[in-house]
């Protein structure tokens, strides 16, 4: 409830995991240009690179540093800045200089010279900095993003940029970002466009998510989604990720809270669903959540997981409310498939065991990839499917091969959520157009 | 780079996911885990 300070309202950025970011490009800053490898990140809006004045962060030892004294186009700004990412933070000060992107020169661009990069993320990162392609609304210090200046300075034909990620592991080419339009060589058919619903991020409305053609239910009424080139995996609500994990055999984290809710309240939830009680009111009716008219919120009650040692930790009771709401969705789905009571409870217990750790990775059996289901996302009324070979990432070769699910859990409560982050795993399959002029995002099959 | 069609193309490099990065990612998860877990349940 405390008021947010500048930059803190960008709590979605705080959930990004740059550790897994896979695609980088090169830019130049200053005159003559000093080269930096950056992530072109549609999920943030600032440009930052390490500063030559970064003395005490190990990360700075391993990366190229900007030397303002060597640039004839440098202008001092000096305003301090800090950005908090989930996987680390950077802080420093603003400077102004020319930025070379391809053969375009964006003049008088404000950017952050990072003087502190304390997190392990940036020590091992293969990139020097980040070039944000999001909107100014989420820009720390309200700095004008590079992309805005590109448009304002008339450097490109159309206010559009597009991404193509090359998913062909045997091909040396990593991908391409195109400013000013889209390269027809990199997509097939027409793009399906959806309007940007929350300016700041490239956020749009998404519908149901299907596993093997079957609805998961949770996003039937709509979920928000952000197209984010700076995130590697696909992140979405735990309710759905657990269902996906169950179908693809991904190992998750056993949740005691989940099993306790199924054991103690499962029968009650089932009876209420069969009696057609409004699903959103069930968890509050049994005392695990408080109903606020739209959704359940934690009642802050005591846990009954262990009756001998009753605890009143708010975190645990929140978890119970959360798990209860997931159980309702799962059960609704099972009832709609006419499953027996026994099968429903078996399935729920299986899902409890497949609960993913937040923003963590899940392993799967490489030999089962071929039999895993397609997973589809409904965008603009059209189904965008991912085949297992598109959503499973392989690390290593032969006997040393390990397979990782491209899905990870991320729960953002309303009104911002439920939210999906469509990272490189999705953008690798679908060529993505970011249309700034018409405030829309478009997807077409990648070529 | 810019071409006759007026588009500005920037080639991207791809870094494969390797074991070192996975270990580093786990370290980060450990470092940030409680915060992320809290966010997972809607706590600020």
Over 60: is that where the pLDDT of A401 sits?
A: yes
Strongest mean pLDDT among A57-66, A103-112, A275-284, A303-312: A103-112
Q: What is d(CA A419, CA A219) in angstroms, rounded to the nearest whole number?
A: 9
Out of A19, A101, A315, name the one closest to residue B24 (CB): A19
Report how far residue A358's alpha carbon sits from residue A25's, in angstroms, rounded to the nearest whole number: 29
**pLDDT: which is higher, A360 or A94:** A94
Report the residue count for chain B.
44
C-beta of residue B10 within 8 angstroms of C-beta of residue A179: yes
The C-alpha of A121 sits at a distance from chain B's nearest C-alpha, in angstroms, of: 7
Q: Check if the beta carbon of residue A396 is closer than 8 Å to that of residue B19.
A: yes
Please indicate if any CB of chain B lies within 8 Å of the CB of A105.
no
Q: Is the pLDDT of residue A302 over 50?
A: no
> Do A210 and A58 contact (CB within 8 A), yes or no?
no
Whether the ω angle into residue A172 lies within 30 degrees of 0, i.e. cis, is: no
Distance CA A45, CA A184 (A): 27
Above 90 in pLDDT, residue A197?
yes
* pLDDT tens per residue, range A154-196: 999 899 999 999 877 666 678 999 999 999 999 999 999 999 9
Q: Helix, strand, coil proportions of chain A in percent (round to 5)?
A: 30, 35, 40
Please judge whether A174 and B12 are an interchain contact, meaning their C-beta atoms are less than 8 angstroms apart: yes
- What separation in angstroms does the CA of A265 have from each of A17, A345, A409? 35, 11, 24
Residue A372: alpha-carbon gap to chain centroid: 23
Statement: residue A208 has pLDDT above 50? yes
- Residue A188 has a pLDDT of 96
Q: Following DSSP, what letter does each residue of A253-319 receive, concatenated?
A: ---HHHHHHHHHHHHHHHHHHHTT--HHHHHHHTTSEEE-SSSEEE--PPP-SSGGG----HHHHHH
Mutation choice for A interface testing from B2, B3, B14, B31 by most A CBs within 10 A? B14
Judge: A101–B10 Cβ closer than 8 Å, yes or no: yes
pLDDT category at A78 given cuts 50, 70, 90 is very high
Which of the four pLDDT bands, split at 50, 70 and 90, describes residue A16? low
Measured in angstroms, the CA of A35 and the nearest CA of chain B are apart by 14
The pLDDT tens digits for A103-145 are: 899 999 999 999 988 776 677 677 899 999 999 998 889 999 9
- pLDDT beyond 80 at A310: no
Q: Which of A86 and A194 is assigned the larger pLDDT?
A: A194
Written as one string, the DSSP assignment of A33-69 is TEEEEEEEETT---EEEEBTT--S-HHHHTS--B-GG
Kind of pairing between the strands at A375-379 and A382-386: antiparallel
Contact: A183, B17; criterion CB under 8 Å: no
Tens digits of per-residue pLDDT, A351-372?
887 777 665 667 788 889 999 9
**Closest of A46, A242, A32 to residue A147, by C-alpha:** A46
Clarify whether A308 is annotated catalytic.
no
- Judged by CB atoms closer than 8 Å, whether chains meet at A24 and B12 is answered as yes
pLDDT digit string, tens, across residues A258-298:
888 888 899 999 999 999 999 988 988 888 887 644 455 55
Verify whether the Cβ–Cβ distance B2 to A120 is below 8 Å.
Answer: no
**How far from A68 is each of A27, A34, A111, A276, A389, CA to CA, in Å?**
16, 10, 12, 67, 46
A330 touches chain B (CB under 8 A): no
From the list A166, A314, A358, which residue is nearest B36 (CB)?
Answer: A358
Residues of A in contact with B22 (CB under 8 A): 361, 395, 404
Whether residue B11 and residue A169 make contact (CB cut-off 8 A), yes or no, is no
pLDDT band at A377 (very low <50, low <70, confident <90, very high): very high
* Chain B residues touching residue A324 (CB < 8 angstroms): none
Q: Of the ranges A88-97, A165-174, A374-383, A417-426, which is most confident?
A: A374-383
Task: Give the residue from chain B lying closest to A237, CA to CA.
Answer: B40
To the nearest 10°, the Cα dihedral for A424, A426, A429, A434? -80
What local confidence, expressed as pLDDT, does residue A244 receive? 92
Residues of B with CB under 8 A from a CB of A: 1-2, 5-22, 24-25, 27-29, 31-33, 35-44
- Do A104 and A98 meet the contact criterion of CB atoms below 8 Å apart? no
State the average pLDDT over residues B18-33: 56
Q: Which residue of A has its CA nearest to B28?
A: A87
Three-class secondary structure of residue A75 per DSSP: strand
Listed in sequence order, the residues at least 6 apart from A275 whose beta carbon sits closer than 8 Å to its beta carbon are: none
The residues, ordered by sequence, that sit 6+ positions from A334 with a Cβ below 8 Å of its Cβ are A343, A344, A347, A348
Which of B6, B14, B15 has its CB closest to that of A180? B6
Residue A414 has pLDDT above 60, yes or no: yes
Q: What is the pLDDT of residues A435-446, one digit of tens each?
A: 999 999 999 999
Residues of A in contact with B35 (CB under 8 A): 86
Residue A308: pLDDT band (50, 70, 90) is very low
pLDDT at B38: 39
The residue from A97, A128, A208, A228 that is catalytic is: A228
A23 touches chain B (CB under 8 A): yes
The C-alpha of A104 sits at a distance from chain B's nearest C-alpha, in angstroms, of 8
Which residues numbered 28-57 in A keep a CB inside 8 Å of some CB on B?
Answer: 37, 40
The residue among A363 and A331 whose pLDDT is bigger is: A331
Residue A328 has pLDDT above 70, yes or no: yes
Residue A411's pLDDT band (cuts 50, 70, 90) = confident
Q: How confident is the model at residue B20 (pLDDT cuts 50, 70, 90)?
A: low
Residue A236: strand, helix, or coil: strand
Distance from CA of B3 to the nearest CA of A (A): 10
Q: What's the pLDDT score for residue A384?
A: 97
Between chain A and chain B, how many beta carbons pairs sit less than 8 Å apart? 149
Chain B hits for A232, CB-CB cut-off 8 Å, are 17
Q: Which helix (H) or strand (E) holds A330?
A: helix A314-336
More confident residue, A277 or B16: A277
Computed over every residue of chain A, the mean pLDDT equals 84
Mean pLDDT for the stretch of residues A85-92? 73
B-contacting residues in A 187-206 (Cβ below 8 Å): none
Q: Which one, of A11, A201, A61, A231, lies nearest residue A130 by Cα?
A: A231
Contact A364, A248 (CB under 8 A): yes
Cα of A71 to nearest chain B Cα, Å: 23
Residues A418, A389, A351, A347, Cα dihedral to 10°: 120
Contacts of residue A25 in chain B, CB cutoff 8 Å?
Answer: 10-13
Phi, psi of A386, deg, nearest 5 = -115, 130
Confidence tier at A412 by pLDDT (50, 70, 90) = confident
Identify the pLDDT of residue A79.
Answer: 94
Show Cβ contacts of residue A314 under 8 Å, excluding neighbours closer than 6 positions: A298, A300, B43
Q: How far apart are CA A87 and CA A121, in angstroms?
A: 6
| Cβ contacts of A434 on chain B, cutoff 8 Å | none
pLDDT per position as a tens digit, A212-234 = 999 998 898 899 999 999 888 88
Does A228 qualify as catalytic in the annotation?
A: yes
Q: Which residue has the higher pLDDT, A317 or A60?
A: A60
Q: Distance between CA A167 and CA A173 in Å, rounded? A: 9
Of A361, A394, A378, A347, give the one whose Cα is nearest residue A243: A347
pLDDT cut 90: percent of chain A above it: 49
């Amino acid at each position: 409830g405390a008021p947010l300070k500048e930059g803190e309202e960008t709590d979605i950025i705080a959930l990004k995991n740059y550790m897994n970011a896979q695609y980088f490009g090169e830019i130049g800053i200053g005159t003559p240009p000093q080269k930096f490898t950056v992530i072109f990140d549609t999920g943030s809006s600032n440009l930052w690179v390490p500063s030559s004045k970064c003395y005490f962060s190990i990360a700075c030892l391993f990366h190229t540093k900007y030397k303002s004294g060597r640039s004839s186009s440098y202008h001092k700004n000096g305003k301090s800045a800090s950005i908090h990412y989930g996987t680390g933070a950077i802080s420093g000060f603003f400077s102004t200089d020319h930025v070379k992107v391809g053969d375009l020169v964006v003049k008088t661009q404000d950017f952050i010279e990072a003087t502190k990069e304390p997190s392990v993320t940036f020590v091992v990162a293969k990139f020097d900095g980040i070039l944000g392609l999001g909107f100014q609304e989420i820009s720390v210090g309200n700095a004008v993003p590079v992309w805005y200046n590109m448009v304002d300075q008339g450097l490109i034909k159309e206010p559009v940029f597009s991404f193509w990620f090359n998913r062909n592991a045997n091909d040396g080419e990593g991908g391409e970002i195109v400013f000013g339009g889209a390269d027809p060589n990199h997509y097939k058919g027409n793009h399906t466009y959806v309007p940007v619903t929350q300016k700041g991020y490239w956020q749009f409305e998404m519908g149901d998510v299907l596993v093997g053609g079957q609805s998961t239910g949770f996003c039937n009424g709509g979920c928000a989604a952000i197209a984010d080139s700076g995130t590697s995996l696909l992140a979405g609500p735990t309710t759905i990720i657990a269902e996906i994990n169950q179908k693809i055999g991904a190992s998750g984290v056993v949740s005691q809270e989940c099993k306790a809710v199924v054991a103690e309240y499962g029968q009650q939830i089932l009876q209420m669903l069969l009696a057609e009680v409004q699903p959103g009111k069930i968890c509050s009716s049994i005392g695990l959540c408080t109903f606020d008219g739209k959704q359940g919120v934690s009642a802050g009650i005591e846990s009954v997981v262990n009756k001998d040692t009753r605890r009143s930790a708010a975190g645990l009771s929140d978890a119970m409310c959360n798990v209860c709401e997931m159980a309702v969705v799962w059960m609704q789905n099972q009832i709609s498939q006419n499953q027996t009571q026994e099968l429903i409870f078996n399935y729920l217990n299986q899902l409890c065991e497949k609960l993913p750790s937040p923003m963590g990775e899940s392993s799967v059996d490489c030999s089962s990839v071929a039999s895993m289901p397609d997973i589809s996302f409904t965008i603009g009324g059209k189904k965008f499917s991912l085949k297992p070979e598109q959503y499973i990432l392989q690390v290593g070769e032969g006997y040393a091969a390990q397979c990782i699910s491209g899905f990870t859990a991320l729960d953002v409560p309303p009104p911002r959520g439920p939210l999906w982050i469509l990272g490189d795993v999705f953008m690798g399959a679908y060529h993505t157009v970011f249309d700034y002029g018409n405030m829309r995002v478009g997807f077409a099959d990648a070529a | 780079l810019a071409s006759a069609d007026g588009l500005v193309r920037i080639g991207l490099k791809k870094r494969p996911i390797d074991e070192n990065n996975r270990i580093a990612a786990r370290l980060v998860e450990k470092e940030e885990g409680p915060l992320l877990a809290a966010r997972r349940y809607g706590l600020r």
